């Protein structure tokens, strides 16, 4: 299907925080309580619309265990957005955020948009990390923050779409060089090859192009 | 629009390199050249599981018994009709091992035949959870003989080879009645199976079932030495009675091959028994668990369309393999078994002098009945097992490091959750998985546990007992 842009995402975070479930909820709109361990990397994709434009999100879901770190590191490069996920019912997953963030910053391009996600917000009774703590951490490190539940689908769409909006805005601002695919952004095959997108925002025009 | 595909999932993952199976379509070199449409690149999950297991008698036996139905199953069979269950439908075996086993089993088999996967679809939808059904039927003496009956989980659901030596009909494709290779006193009719010949350019005599000796009355309970000698040596679990033995009333000459699937049935049996006895398991199956965890609740089978297992024991999920995939002809599968058994007998020589041939045969697919033995020999774990008697128990007694146990426990219910052996929380499969993964962390404390070990360990456990699986894992990792 034609799209105006393709954004590459990566989902990172400790093992068992719900990365694969978030992806499944976003791409398939369903929650699977049991699923296979993620070994290495998996991915999913979905089309969204921002500002009248079709945008394809290509999402890489990584394995959380430390032993896979060397593999997942290689996936940061060329990602336009990252979802850094922790589990609000397990404090250790929150405590590890700094190492994840270091890793991400070190191996990605500097413009990568990082969204901090506190997952499993449906399990309020087992909460170990306060929402305020997540917000504070996000503020401190310049991340967008959101609590989600892959189970109830609460905020899942928003998490992915807000990240895309942020990336899209950066494109509009000319921060991203969309012709350099190392930034994790690709212009769609049907997209007019003009470079007018960088400064001017003639959204309607492109949306028309993306539809056929 | 939404696409979700697995890239490198259940297969073993080399730790150092990105886990990309060589056969993978262009895996996103994680840079510019990432593929545009991931959905198009779906890769078969779990190459370990979905490999050439099709090349087994199990794969074809069901078809054969079907094709025999018109001739070998007249309702008024004499009661001494030998009935051979080469395959293991646990339920039917329990049934058959009751009083008056033979005719009854035979009848049941006939009734079960419509349960061939393709045709079974309509009624399967209304079948209750197979695990539950079997657990329940295990308790009661009166089991239904309706097709649903067959919906019980079974590692090799399609294997029901019936042999009726008196049928005296043209059963060219009847495998069970064909003395192969070993029966030298019985000159072959000279017909060579072309596929066998083609397979390795090494034709072997293949007897035809319509030969005169098929009319002989079966020597009752004659011990078949050749058969005994060839039975895979893999020990079965201690707690598993061997439900197959009472059923084998076949003539000595009839099947010089070992039971093609000597292990799965006991596995399934004990697993089901345990499932019915274990507290919490049934609860988990019926979705009554109160754990509301986002990442895995106790309602494990919830949301899963209930159906019979595929030939590998998967109830669903991405590993479920359609029965429509290409299957190896049963004669070919049997020839392979014979060849493998021959290799087992002279293993060292084969490895030393004809390694290329061994490799070739591995790539054609090790018959699933012999995988346990073959894997242990190939990985050389058998040697390790024999050299370390009691070591596994010793490792089991040690407490283990908490940080590893913690991760392992988190992973237990995420490893092949749609496989009948691993579906039940706290079931035998998960318990054994825990045992061997934990033992590994103690055996090699510097390595501990890597998540990619879990699928490997689980596949090993599908084929062999925990101790053997542990040493195999040690050799593989």
> Count of CB atoms within 10 A of residue B313's CB?
27
What residue of B is the nearest CA neighbor of A31?
Answer: B294
- Residue B332 domain-assigned (yes or no): yes
Cβ-based contacts of A39 with chain B (< 8 Å): 8-11, 13, 19, 451-452, 455
Q: Which of B335, B365, B395 is the last residue of a domain?
A: B365
- Residue A156 domain-assigned (yes or no): yes
Judge if B409 and B442 occupy the same domain: yes
Q: Are A116 and A143 in contact (CB under 8 A)?
A: yes
Domain that holds residue A142: 3-185
Say how far apart CA B361 and CA B358 lie, in whole Å. 5
Q: Which of B306, B339, B365 is the last residue of a domain?
A: B365
Judge if B347 and B407 occupy the same domain: no
What does DSSP assign to residue B419?
A: B
Section A179-187 average pLDDT = 80
CATH number at residue A100: 3.40.50.300
| pLDDT per position as a tens digit, B8-50 | 334 333 334 334 444 444 444 444 443 444 444 433 333 333 3
| Tokens (6 digits) for A199 | 């400064």
> Count of CB atoms within 10 A of residue B201's CB?
7
What per-residue confidence (pLDDT) applies to B439? 93
| pLDDT per position as a tens digit, A49-94 | 999 989 999 999 999 888 888 888 888 888 999 999 999 999 999 9
Cross-strand partners of A47: A56
- Residue A143 domain-assigned (yes or no): yes
| Tokens (6 digits) for A71 | 């593999």
Section A160-179 average pLDDT = 87
Judge if B386 and B361 occupy the same domain: no
Judge if B360 and B435 occupy the same domain: no
A97 in contact with chain B, both atoms CB, cutoff 8 A? no
Judge if B335 and B358 occupy the same domain: yes
- Residue A198 domain-assigned (yes or no): no
Work out how many domains chain A is built from and give that number.
1
Domain that holds residue B471: 370-475
Section A112-117 average pLDDT = 93
Exposure of B202 by Cβ count < 10 A (0-12 exposed, 13-18 middle, 19+ buried)?
A: exposed
Cross-strand partners of A86: A118
B417: Cβ contacts below 8 Å, ≥ 6 apart: A34, A35, A36, B296, B300, B317, B423
- Residue A204 domain-assigned (yes or no): no
C-alpha B364: how far from its chain's center?
Answer: 17
- Residue A211 domain-assigned (yes or no): no
Q: Are B102 and B198 in contact (CB under 8 A)?
A: no
Q: Which H or E element spans position B312?
A: none
What per-residue confidence (pLDDT) applies to B323? 66
- Residue A192 domain-assigned (yes or no): no
Q: Give the CA distances from residue A89 to residues A98, A128, B86, B258, B425, in Å, rounded to whole numbers and listed in that order.
A: 18, 5, 50, 53, 21
Q: Under DSSP, is residue B223 helix (H, G, I), strand (E, B) or coil?
A: coil
| pLDDT per position as a tens digit, B69-98 | 434 334 444 444 444 444 444 444 444 444
- Residue B464 domain-assigned (yes or no): yes
Q: Which of B346, B365, B384 is the last residue of a domain?
A: B365
Cross-strand partners of A12: A84
Q: Are A4 and A209 in contact (CB under 8 A)?
A: yes
Work out how many domains chain B is built from and give that number.
2
**Beta-carbon separation of B407 and A33 below 8 A:** no
Judge if B380 and B448 occupy the same domain: yes
**Beta-carbon separation of B417 and A36 below 8 A:** yes
Judge if B413 and B461 occupy the same domain: yes
| Concatenated DSSP letters of B424-457 | STTSHHHHHHHHHHHHHHHHSTTT---TTHHHHH
Judge if B393 and B469 occupy the same domain: yes
- Residue A209 domain-assigned (yes or no): no
Output the pTM of the full model.
Answer: 0.53
Judge if B398 and B347 occupy the same domain: no
Cβ-based contacts of A36 with chain B (< 8 Å): 9-10, 45, 317-319, 414-417, 455
CA distance B14 to chain A (A): 10
CATH number at residue B410: 1.10.8.270
- Residue A24 domain-assigned (yes or no): yes
- Residue B3 domain-assigned (yes or no): no
- Residue B385 domain-assigned (yes or no): yes
What residue of A is the nearest CA neighbor of B410?
Answer: A16
């Amino acid at each position: 299907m034609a799209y105006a842009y393709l954004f590459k995402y990566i989902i990172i975070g400790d093992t068992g925080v719900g990365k694969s479930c978030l992806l499944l909820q976003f791409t398939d709109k369903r929650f699977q309580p049991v699923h296979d361990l993620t070994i290495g990397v998996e991915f999913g994709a979905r089309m969204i619309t921002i500002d009248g434009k079709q945008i394809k999100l290509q999402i890489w879901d990584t394995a959380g265990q430390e032993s896979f770190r060397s593999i997942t590191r290689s996936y940061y490069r060329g990602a336009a957005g990252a979802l850094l996920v922790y589990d609000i019912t397990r404090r250790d997953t929150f405590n590890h955020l700094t190492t994840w963030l270091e890793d991400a910053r070190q191996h990605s391009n500097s413009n990568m948009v990082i969204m901090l996600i506190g997952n499993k917000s449906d399990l309020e009774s087992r909460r170990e990390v306060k929402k305020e703590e997540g917000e504070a951490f996000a503020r401190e490190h310049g991340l967008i923050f959101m609590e989600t539940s892959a189970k109830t689908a609460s905020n899942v769409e928003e998490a992915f779409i807000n990240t895309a909006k942020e990336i899209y805005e950066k494109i509009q601002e000319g921060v991203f060089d969309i012709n350099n695919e190392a930034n994790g952004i690709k212009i769609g095959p049907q997209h007019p090859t003009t470079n007018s997108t960088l400064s001017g925002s003639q959204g309607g025009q492109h949306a028309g192009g993306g539809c056929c | 629009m939404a696409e979700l595909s697995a890239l490198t999932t259940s297969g073993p993952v080399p730790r150092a390199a990105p886990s990309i199976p060589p056969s993978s379509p262009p895996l996103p070199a994680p840079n510019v050249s990432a593929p545009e449409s991931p959905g198009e690149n779906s890769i078969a999950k779990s190459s370990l599981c979905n490999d050439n297991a099709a090349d087994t008698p199990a794969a074809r036996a069901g078809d054969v018994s079907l094709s025999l139905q018109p001739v070998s199953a007249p309702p008024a069979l004499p009661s001494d009709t030998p009935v051979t269950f080469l395959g293991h439908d646990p339920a039917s075996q329990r049934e058959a091992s009751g009083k008056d086993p033979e005719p009854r089993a035979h009848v049941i088999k006939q009734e079960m035949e419509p349960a061939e996967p393709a045709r079974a679809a309509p009624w399967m939808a209304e079948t209750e959870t197979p695990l539950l059904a079997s657990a329940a039927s295990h308790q009661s003496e009166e089991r239904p003989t309706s097709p649903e009956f067959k919906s019980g989980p079974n590692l090799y659901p399609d294997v029901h080879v019936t042999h009726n030596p008196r049928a005296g009909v043209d059963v060219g494709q009847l495998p069970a009645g064909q003395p192969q290779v070993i029966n030298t006193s019985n000159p072959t009719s000279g017909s060579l199976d072309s596929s066998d010949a083609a397979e390795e350019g090494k034709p072997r005599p293949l007897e035809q079932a319509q030969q005169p000796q098929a009319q002989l009355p079966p020597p009752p309970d004659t011990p078949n030495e050749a058969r005994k000698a060839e039975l895979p040596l893999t020990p079965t679990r201690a707690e598993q009675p061997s439900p197959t033995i009472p059923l084998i009333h076949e003539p000595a000459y009839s099947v010089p091959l070992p039971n093609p699937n000597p292990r799965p049935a006991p596995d399934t049996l004990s697993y089901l028994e345990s499932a019915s006895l274990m507290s919490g398991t049934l609860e988990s199956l019926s979705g009554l668990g109160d754990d509301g965890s986002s990442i895995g609740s106790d309602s494990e089978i919830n949301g899963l369309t209930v159906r019979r297992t595929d030939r590998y024991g998967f109830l669903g999920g991405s590993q479920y393999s359609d029965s429509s995939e290409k299957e190896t002809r049963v004669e070919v599968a049997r020839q392979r078994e014979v060849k493998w058994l021959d290799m087992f007998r002279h293993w060292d020589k084969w490895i030393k002098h004809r390694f290329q041939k061994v490799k070739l045969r591995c790539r054609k697919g090790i018959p699933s009945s012999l995988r346990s033995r073959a894997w242990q020999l190939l990985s050389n774990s058998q040697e390790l097992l024999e050299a370390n008697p009691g070591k596994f128990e010793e490792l089991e007694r040690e407490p283990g490091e908490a940080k590893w146990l913690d991760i392992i426990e988190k992973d237990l219910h995420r490893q092949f959750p749609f496989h009948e052996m691993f579906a039940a929380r706290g079931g035998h499969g998960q318990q054994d998985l825990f045992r061997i993964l934990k033992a590994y962390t103690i055996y090699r404390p510097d390595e501990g546990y890597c998540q990619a070990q879990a699928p490997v360990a689980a596949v090993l456990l599908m084929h062999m007992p925990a101790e053997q699986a542990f040493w195999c894992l040690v050799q593989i990792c």
